[in-house]
Amino acid sequence: MPSLKQVFKAVAAGLVLFFICLPTAKGEVQPGLEMAPLRVAERAPSATGYIPPPMDLSHVRAIRPLRLPKGGLPSRFDWRDYGKVTPVRDQGSCGACWAFASVAALESRGLIREGTSWDLSEQSVLCCQDEAWIEDGCQGGWPFLALEVFARRGMKEEECQPYDPAVIPEEGCFGSCPAVGRAVSYRVITSDPASDIAAVKEAIYNRGPVVMAYHHDEGHMYPGAIYWWPDCPNEPNHLVLVVGWDDSVPHPDGLGSGAWIAKNSWGTGWGEDGYFYLCYGSGNQEEVGFFDYGPYDPGEMLLHYDEAGLVAAVGYGTETAWMAAVFHPTVDGLLERVEFWTTSPGSSYRILVQEGVFGSILHEQGGSCEEMGYYSIELSEAVEVRAGEPFTVAVRLTTPGYPYPLPAETQVPFLCDPPIQRGVTFSRPDEPSPWQDMAISGYNPCLRAVVERSSSPDHVFVSAYDERGNLLETDQVILQPGGKWVGFAEELFGGSLPPEAAWLKIEGEGPLMAHLVYGSRDGRLSAALPGRSSGEGEVVLPHVPEDPWWAGVIVFNPGSAPTEVLATCYDERGTALDDTALPLPPGGKWVGFVEELFGEGVPSECEWVRLQAASPFTAYGVLG
């Protein structure tokens, strides 16, 4: 049953679309954006989980020239024979096949490109999808959603956020997990693999395993782990990783042969050790795509207005249209790349970078995109940008034979509810036409700018004070943009922290982020968490807090088994005042203020808190 809010949004969208078509003051009809028909499927829990994306892909066919080896492609090929496929996983009852297949594709890509064996986190993909999407990741999805997480938050490893579907709705995204890479590409090879078998084979052979959508029904599994349903009338509901093919696999009707070698996500007890043969043309096969990645750079800043990512294709009824975004950087840096989706294969683009709001042109370049998908275009010459000074990125897209060249996010009832920001994104049908605010029509374009923060280092000064506030000594740490210094306090000051030091002040030339990391070096599993006070433009890390009400705590259990953390409050003499137990499930965490730990409130004499457990855990002081 739709909520009143959802109904209102649907009606309001209709009203907006109506009013923008009214004649202008000059008596001319202002051209309006038109959206390609959506294909919206219901998200619901299942043991499969693939949902066709809302943007209809039926026009996407393989047009890229095949790059075949001398002698042609073999009749059988399997990336497992080369050790380039990671172990089979089990998604359980969560509708997460879309995340598992996408993760598996990037894991194989890492093995092929670098010989790097990753175990990437499906949980991160499921928990880190943008809040613009109404349902959680277990209700199903498609590879576009996985790309968004990989591109915006990076590729995270399993050990930092392990898979546990029971906590997905509540767990949230672990932003502190380090990233091992960042997805910069997802390309749709075809939406009709039955007609483009050669193109799919070539992609697997030259680029690595691909994801493929089809409709799964156990009633169509045959002996030998063969899936055959040539005239399936149902929409795809499952996504798997295709690691190869075998043209000799017989079809159960005895009339044909040939199948994709598919890696499933239902554990090794299903099929043949988790694999099966998906006969060519069976199960209404549709979306076939592949991922690629680049290094994750913490010094990069991704500027964008499309929280949901690609939802729809829009245009003015012709193959060409312009989109633009005015960005407001918060740091100095270099604009190095422009990223966007293309809505059709065989596209071409022209990029303009302009000073201010549609000011003088600072950079211009063009190119082509063979496949429909997500592109990260490196600028031939980086453009300097300054904090607080806007700049504009405008892109002209041409999609031959397809009249919806612009990628966009929009609100879709019951599916996604992104905020549509006004006055920052624009479109026009051609170069002579004036720019129009896309938000008026209910859209933001999928257009992004990647800015590398200024390369000048920041000089950070660390000063030690005694308990009366007398300055004892000052040391200096030089941090590169995006860099960090981690160590024990006594490693500063030439390796000898003054014994009278009671607290440290940290000051920098630019914005700083500082964390206190507490623990022990005696082999015991414990962490002491005092508080912190802060002043404007500086960070003060006291040795003993004056006000424990400002000390917050994050406790995380990274293990695969439940644990219990004992929190004990001590006075300045080390006398235990009170304690409490925090039960944590696998991958669980507790976040709160210190006073929330001890029932009626933290004892007034409490000066520090010690956390102990029978198994390893992670604790952070949240200080302010």
Backbone phi, then psi, for 494, in 5-degree steps?
65, 20
The verdict on whether 237 is a catalytic residue reads no
Pairing status of strand 226-227 against strand 221-222: antiparallel
DSSP 439: G
Q: How many CB atoms lie within 10 A of CB 431?
A: 10
Task: Say if residues 563 and 614 touch (Cβ distance below 8 Å).
Answer: yes
- Please state, in angstroms and as integers, the Cα–Cα distance from residue 214 to each residue in 108, 285, 361, 523, following that order: 21, 4, 46, 52
- Phi/psi at 383 (nearest 5 deg)? -115, 130
Nearest-CA neighbor of 175 among 460, 488, 479, 513? 513
Residue 507's alpha-carbon distances to 188, 457, 462, in angstroms, are 49, 14, 7
**Distance (Å, rounded) from C-alpha 472 to C-alpha 462?**
11
Q: Which SS3 state, helix, strand or coil, does residue 557 take?
A: coil
How far apart CA 98 and CA 3 sit, in angstroms, is 28
Contact 330, 390 (CB under 8 A): no
Q: Report the b/e string of 268-287 with b at 16+ CB within 10 A.
A: eebbeebbbbbbbbbbbbbb
- 220 a catalytic residue: no
| CA atoms lying within 13 Å on the CB side of residue 566 | 11
Measuring CA to CA, which residue among 601, 608, 598, 616 is closest to residue 555? Answer: 616
Cβ pair 162, 103 in contact under 8 A: no
Residue 451 pairs in a beta bridge with: 301, 335
238 part of the active site:
yes
Considering 215, 216, 238, 251, which one is annotated as catalytic?
238
8 Å CB contact between 393 and 351 = yes
Q: Per the residue annotation, which of 237, 264, 284, 557 is the catalytic one?
A: 264
End-to-end Cα separation, the chain, in angstroms? 43
Residues forming the active site: 97, 238, 264
